[in-house]
Amino acid sequence: MIKKLLIANRGEIAVRIIRACRELGIKTVAVHSTADADSMHVKIADEAVCIGPAQSKYSYLNIPSILTAAQITGVDAIHPGFGFLSENAEFAELVDEHGFIFVGPTSEHIRVMGDKIKAKDTAVKLGIPVVPGSQGEVKTVKDAKSWSKKIGFPLIIKAASGGGGRGMKVANTPEELEEAFNICQTEALSAFGDGAVYMERYLGRPRHIEIQVFGDGTGNALHFFERDCSIQRRHQKVIEEASGPSIDEKTRTDIGNVCVKAMSKMKYRGAGTIEFLYENGEFFFIEMNTRIQVEHPITEMITGFDLIKEQINVASGDGLSAKQQDIKINGHAIECRINAECPETFMPMPGTVELYHAPGGLGVRVDSHLYAGYSIPPHYDSMIAKLIVHAPTREIAIARMKRALKEYLIIGVKTNIPLHLKLLDEPDFISGDYTIHWLEELMGLK
């Protein structure tokens, strides 16, 4: 039984977790940096502890500080949210060793899935289809050349420890291979402290389809259908929708079953997302995220399940709250990620929110930590809100999102709301005909 929980995160996801805890009657402890003393999660939690200065390295990534805060406030559990320490196996291990419940999978599963080479290998063993590519790490240019003959061009070189859309290089021709390989290896070492890279076929026109899964840690597993997150810029998601406009009933059931079988076999615990590229009716595994995702609300809207509560229930040892046949799709949901950035150049633009008015009405949800007078600190991610709509059909959801975006007032900082409005009017978006390259092609970036 969890009575008190510490949220090792900030921003809208910390607020989201506090909201779930409050409904469950669980007391909450917020941790924050000095730059976040006025942040919403600090204001609405039952208790708050300052864990260090603005730089994440000394606060939100500072494991001893977070564990000390947990100890002095007497919590039972720690929820890591997403980003920061959420996929840090050592953190999960230490949380466990200090006698707290980690709201997430075992450190062993985090470790395996955090290494993309091991993750791919595990996926193959679990019967999940993967992108054809090198077997394991590619160590030298000579090996890269030899693998390229089997894989063909274009191909992509990826860092085993990469994440957040970084640590990837495409080689379109044999001439580009050596340089791309060397750059990727060097960058991987400097950015992630691990120079291991691997290679796979570069898919030309895929969609990014991900499956939300849950396990109870003893072999029971569920899926909550798919999300289409193809609308990306620099491998970062911009708009997501559920269900996927390109996925039919049979395809949905088949891939869902593949994922459930795999999670059951590995005795996965908690929330996870299995990410695929989907091209010409085929799924290719790219990675598994062992945490809750930014875009989880769209799955909540179409299924009616509270995925944060589900995480907490599983962590408490209460098991999964549903059977697969109880999970059904109701209507359509879309999420627009609202960033404090210049809509033309995408440069982050922190500042003070002078006036704030969030949209409302039927089928509109805003997950955000903003309020009038709030100063967005420059030290963290530029995402300041998630605007989510739910409607009986995709067509109504698009109309609803447009009216909600127009109602949304965030005065004082520049946001990408104008970009979202433009994208929602594009014929390809309206027809659901887009790939992972669509946004960059539309903006002339490719």
Number of C-beta neighbours around residue 71 at 10 A: 13
The yes or no reply on residue 113 touching ligand ADP (CB under 6 A) is no
User: Shortest Cβ distance from residue 165 to ligand ADP (Å)?
Assistant: 4
Nearest to ligand ADP of 32, 120 (CB atom): 120
Amino acid at 160: A
Q: Give the shortest CB-168-to-ligand ADP separation in angstroms.
A: 6
Least distance to ligand ADP, CB of residue 330, Å: 27
What is the DSSP-derived secondary structure letter of residue 86?
Answer: T
Asked if residue 275 binds ligand ADP (CB under 6 A), the reply is yes
Catalytic residue, from 207, 291, 365, 400: name it.
291
Q: How many residues does the chain have?
A: 446
Q: Measured from the CB of residue 416, what is the shortest distance to ligand ADP in angstroms?
A: 19
The phi and psi torsions of 99 (rounded to 5 degrees) equal 85, 15
- Contacting ligand ADP (CB under 6 A), which of 203, 353, 391, 397? 203
Site for ligand ADP contains 156 (CB under 6 A): yes
Residue 22, interface with ligand ADP (CB under 6 A)?
Answer: no
Question: Looking at 51-59, 122-130, 195-203, 425-433, which segment touches ligand ADP (CB under 6 A)?
Answer: 195-203
Q: Which stretch binds ligand ADP (CB under 6 A): 38-46, 198-206, 294-302, 324-332?
A: 198-206
Q: In whole angstroms, give the CA distance from residue 298 to residue 239.
A: 11
Q: How far apart are CA 283 and CA 206, in angstroms?
A: 9
3-state secondary structure of 28: strand
Q: C-alpha 56: how far from its chain's center?
A: 19
User: Is residue 8 within 8 Å of residue 85, measured between CB atoms?
Assistant: yes
**Minimum CB–partner distance for residue 201 and ligand ADP (Å):** 6
Rounded CA separation 94/246 (Å): 42
Rg (CA), the chain: 21
Considering the rule CB under 6 A, would residue 252 count as an interface residue with ligand ADP?
no
Tokens 């085929």 belong to residue: 282
Among 286, 370, 384, 413, binds ligand ADP (CB under 6 A): 286
Sites for ligand ADP among residues 397-436 (CB under 6 A): 436
152 lies in the site for ligand ADP, by CB under 6 A? no
Which residue number, 67 or 292, has a Cβ lying nearer to ligand ADP?
Answer: 292
136 near ligand ADP, judged by CB under 6 A: no
Q: Which residue, 100 or 147, has its beta carbon nearer to ligand ADP?
A: 147
397's tokens: 């959801």
3-state helix, strand, coil in the chain (%, to 5): 35, 30, 35
CA-wise closest residue to 314 among 326, 304, 306: 306
Q: How many residues bind ligand ADP (CB under 6 A)?
A: 19
Q: Is the CB of 255 or the CB of 417 nearer to ligand ADP? A: 255
- Residue 446 Cβ vs ligand ADP, minimum distance, rounded to whole Å: 12
**Binding flag, residue 52, ligand ADP (CB under 6 A):** no
**Per-residue three-class SS string for 146-176:** HHHHHHCCCEEEEEEEEECCEEEEEECCHHH
Is 207 labeled as catalytic in the residue annotation? no
Among 76, 187, 200, 240, binds ligand ADP (CB under 6 A): 200
335: contact with ligand ADP by CB under 6 A: no
Helix axis angle, 307-316 relative to 296-303, nearest 10°?
90
Exactly one of 21, 117, 131, 180 binds ligand ADP (CB under 6 A); which one? Answer: 131
Q: Taking contact as CB under 6 A, which single stretch among the options 163-171, 307-315, 361-369, 423-431 is the one that binds ligand ADP?
A: 163-171
Read off the tokens for 180: 């791309």
Q: Does 165 bind ligand ADP (CB under 6 A)?
A: yes
Give whole-number Cα distances, 246 to 108, 226, 228, in Å.
34, 11, 9
Which of 343, 332, 338, 306 lies closest to 321, judged by CA? 306
Q: Does position 283 bind ligand ADP by CB under 6 A?
A: no
Please give the order of strands across the beta sheet that includes 27-33: 47-52, 27-33, 4-7, 77-79, 101-102
Q: CA 265, CA 416: separation in Å to the nearest integer?
A: 42
Q: Of 65 and 161, which CB lies nearer to ligand ADP in the complex structure?
A: 161
Question: Is 270 one of the binding residues for ligand ADP (CB under 6 A)?
Answer: no
Residues that bind ligand ADP (CB under 6 A): 131, 156, 162-165, 168, 200-203, 208, 232, 235, 275, 277, 286-287, 436
Active site positions, annotated: 291
